Amino acid sequence: MDTKTPPFHQDIMPGYLIKTLTFDDERDIQSFLEECEEYNMMESGRLPQPEDARFFLTDIPPQKDLSDKYCLAVEKDARIVALIDLVKNYPTSGIWWIGLLLIHPDYQGIGLGTTIVNAIFSWFSKEGVQKVRLGVLEENEKGFRFWQKMGFQEIDRKFNRSFGIKTHTVIVMEYSGSKL
């Protein structure tokens, strides 16, 4: 995996460090995922598995490669408090995909998610991104409401998507608002 310069300037999120993740960070990523087991149980029906950090770093859509992927961490006091997975020009040029934005349970409800998304939008506007898409599990009502609040709108539903031992409906959402 290529090491990329973090896309956001540190001053966008005072008090937090934005870091590009590499395979050297697998242990820290795995620890974070284990601390976020509630999300993992909702998504896959199982506790985090030893290979989940590697999967986070390497999971990419068809026809994309790792150079199209950004794996980022937001850190506070040398501890990961959020993971971000972004894929450029997916599904087509000018559209970027947010594969994951996972906030540590201790940092939820304090505005960190909004701050991160606004930082992503700021970066995307400089990159000429026209639209941003993501998929949220229908079961994840809290996540769905968050993305709606951020200006995303439902554009599609994908049925019978398997994650671990669970099957979900995935709500595809899109943002093409004024922040880009």
Q: What is the CATH number of the domain that holds 45?
A: 3.40.630.30
Whether residue 165 lies inside any domain: the answer is no
Distances (CA, A) of 119 to 7, 73, 80, 126: 9, 13, 17, 11
> Assign residue 133 a region: left if phi > 0, alpha if psi is -120 to 50, beta otherwise?
beta
Whether residue 154 lies inside any domain: the answer is no
Whether residue 168 lies inside any domain: the answer is no
Whether residue 72 lies inside any domain: the answer is yes
Q: How many domains does the chain have?
A: 1
Whether residue 47 lies inside any domain: the answer is yes
Question: Buried b / exposed e across 112-138, counting CB within 10 Å, b at 16+?
Answer: bbebbbebbbebbeeeebebbbbbbbb
Select the more confidently predicted residue: 153 or 4.
153
Decide if pLDDT at 2 tops 90: no
pLDDT of residue 10: 61
Whether residue 141 lies inside any domain: the answer is no
Whether residue 4 lies inside any domain: the answer is no
The whole domain housing 126 covers: 10-135
Query: pLDDT-derived band of residue 130, with 50, 70 and 90 as boundaries?
Result: very high
Whether residue 68 lies inside any domain: the answer is yes
